[in-house]
Amino acid sequence: MADDPEEPAIIGQIKDKLIRTKEKWAEDGRLITGHQDAGHANRLPPGQKLVTNWPVLDLGAQPDVKPDRWRLQILGTVENPIVLTLDAFKGLPPSQFVSDIHCVTSWSRYDNHWDGIAARTIIDLVKPKLETTHVLFHSYDGYTTNVKLEVFADDDVILAHSWEGEPLAREHGGPVRVVIPKWYFWKSAKWVTRIVFSDHDVPGFWETRGYHNEGDPWKEERYS
State the amino acid at position 42 in one-letter form: N
Site for ligand MTE contains 186 (CB under 6 A): yes
Q: What residue type is 213 in one-letter code?
A: N
Say whether residue 183 binds Mo ion (CB under 5 A): no
User: C-alpha dihedral over 143, 147, 153, 155, to 10 degrees?
Assistant: -80
The conformation of residue 99, written as its DSSP 8-state character, comes to E
x/- letters, 123..162, toward ligand MTE (CB under 6 A): ----------------x-x-x-------------------
Footprint (CB under 5 A) of Mo ion, residues 52-71 = 57
Is the CA virtual torsion 90, 139, 159, 48 positive or negative? Answer: negative
CB proximity list for 36: less than 8 A, separation 6 or greater: 46, 218, 219, 220
Residue number with the smallest Cβ distance to ligand MTE: 139
Whether the ω angle into residue 128 lies within 30 degrees of 0, i.e. cis, is no
Q: What one-letter code names the amino acid at 196?
A: V
Q: Does 190 bind ligand MTE (CB under 6 A)?
A: yes
- Confirm or reject binding of residue 191 to Mo ion (CB under 5 A): no
Smallest distance from ligand MTE to CB 195, Å: 13
Binding residues among 48-77 for ligand MTE as defined by CB under 6 A:
54-59
Does 103 participate in binding Mo ion (rule CB under 5 A)?
Answer: yes
The H or E element spanning position 23 is helix 16-28
Residues that bind Mo ion (CB under 5 A): 57, 103-104, 186
Residues that bind ligand MTE (CB under 6 A): 54-59, 103, 139, 141, 143, 172-173, 185-186, 188-191
